[in-house]
Amino acid sequence: MAAASYLRSEDQFLCSICLDLFTDPVTIPCGHNFCKNCITEHWDISDRCQCPMCKEAFTTRPDLRVNTFISEMVSQFRQSAQQKASSSSSSSSSSEQQVFKPGEVSCDVCTETKLKALKSCLVCLTSYCETHLEPHLTASSLKRHQLIDPVENLEDRMCPKHDKPLELFCKTDQTCVCMLCTVLDHKMHDVVPLKEGYEGKKAALGKKEARSEEMIQKRQLKIEEIKHSVDLSKKEADREVAEGVQVFTALKESVERNLNEFIQTIEGKQNMRMKRAEDFIKELEQEISQLKKRVAKVEHLSRSEDHLHLLQGFQSLNIQHPSPTKDWTKVSIPLSSYEGTVVRAVVQLEETLSQEMKKLIEADVRRVQKYAVNVTLDPNTAHPNIILSRDGKQVRDGDVENNLPDNRERFSDDICVLGKQSFSSGRFYFEVQVKGKTEWDLGVARESINRKGEITLSAEDGFWTIWLREGNKYGANDEPAVFLSLKSRPQKVGVFVDYEEGLVSFYDVDAAALIYSFTGCSFTEKLYPFFRPGVKCGRKNSAPLIISPVN
């Protein structure tokens, strides 16, 4: 049994030259076996007659005769393999998994129940199920055919012009061609085997897929970033609404309270006057009543003809000495005077509003300070007259022009300098000490501003700045220019920019007051911090502008 099993091993019946089952097997003098055609062709192209296996050389080419024993054994093995394959195929064909389903490639040979194709042959241009694929796995002439995973429309793999398999790839025209195409239409073109073209394109597709995956990941990250920004924006909006509701509720309550106090004050004064008037009227009515009674007695007595009665009655009336009455000539109710009442109420309301505004600005300053950035001055942009500190944090007019290269970035006429850092998105904030200065300009500028010759500081020309002149005159370089009335002289100015919002705001840091805001700006370039220390006149305006750390 062991011997039988050994003899039936496929490895024993393979030709070492073609690596296929023996066809007309022959045995040469050294004892090794080969296909008759294989060994004959090998010796035809070789300059020596020797065994391909053991390298034993022969002086003359041996006569080759078919080894009938091995030939019969090969025939038996082939029949046994075919029967086994047929049995296995018959068993598997009944399996539900092998039955052709919509969307799958069916076997082109099956006539009754269409089975699922396992392979497609590019030579036969036919798709085979497991059963009908067997000859391609056993027959030596068919084993050389190229099998691929099952595909439909195999005719599309034939050259429409020459009816030959498309087995080459023209890199010049980037198209699949047949052998005849290389001789005729694609002569002198860079043509490679289909496999090589496939591998090249597959590698390119792999790179493209990797790039696409990278782009997808970046966009997914961007989506997450946008969602996160929206969440933060919503939280910030909710916080702003809550603060606004709180402030306006307080203002509303203050207005209502002041209105009630105002009304109560007016009504109180009016009630006092009405009470006084009522008291006067009551007193006057009492005197009128008494006088009327007196008049009635006098009139009655004056009609009497009795001498004694009249004299006695006259004495009782005491006409010559009447009862004292009040002098009403100087009594009056003056008109109500409410001058200043409304003004005082509004002033009180204004004080309340100022207090609430101060609280809001203080909170706003603390909020924007969270976006503080480290700004340093760029010596490559500094006007030749400018002196910068070694740490790049201070700038002042040196009164003497330095010999510096006139590079493209440098300001040539105006005593200005930009920060090294640029910003093209998000928010940023920095603070500058202006103490002791009588003239300065501060803010941000876009990258493409004019730096040569005399420049105009305006929003239209790419400068969003505020300024000080003559020690006490402030303004903003808006369109048109705006003159500012400040309650106090800022000693430290905070500059805040929201790129996407198009906002540039300036704060008096110590007073926690908003100086000015540019709103609705459209930023499309990089923005740089901008500094103009102003011209030095002796000791006047000699103090530097200092970029301060943000607390």
- Residues 468, 434: contact at Cβ < 8 Å? yes
Gyration radius of the chain's alpha carbons? 56
- Collect the ranges in the chain with pLDDT lower than 70: 1-11, 82, 84-97, 100, 317-325, 334-341
- Residues 21, 14: contact at Cβ < 8 Å? yes
SS (H, E, C) 151-184: CCCHHHHECCCCCCECCEEECCCCEEECHHHHHC
Look at residue 446 and give its three-state secondary structure. strand
- Residues 138, 82: contact at Cβ < 8 Å? yes
Cβ count near 457 (within 10 Å): 21
* Pairing mode, strands 463-469 and 440-446: antiparallel
- Residue range 288-340, pLDDT digits in tens: 888 888 888 888 888 888 878 788 777 776 655 555 567 777 777 766 556 66
- Residue range 210-241, pLDDT digits in tens: 999 999 999 999 999 999 989 988 998 898 88
- Residues 511, 496: contact at Cβ < 8 Å? no
Distance in Å from the first CA to the final CA of the chain: 95
Residue 52: HSE in the Cβ half-sphere, 13 Å Cα cutoff: 18
- Residues 366, 512: contact at Cβ < 8 Å? no
* Pairing mode, strands 492-498 and 503-508: antiparallel
What is the CA angle 219-220-225, rounded to 5?
90
Q: Which residues lie below 8 Å from residue 134, measured CB to CB, with a gap of 6+?
A: 82, 85, 86, 89
Output the pLDDT for position 379: 94
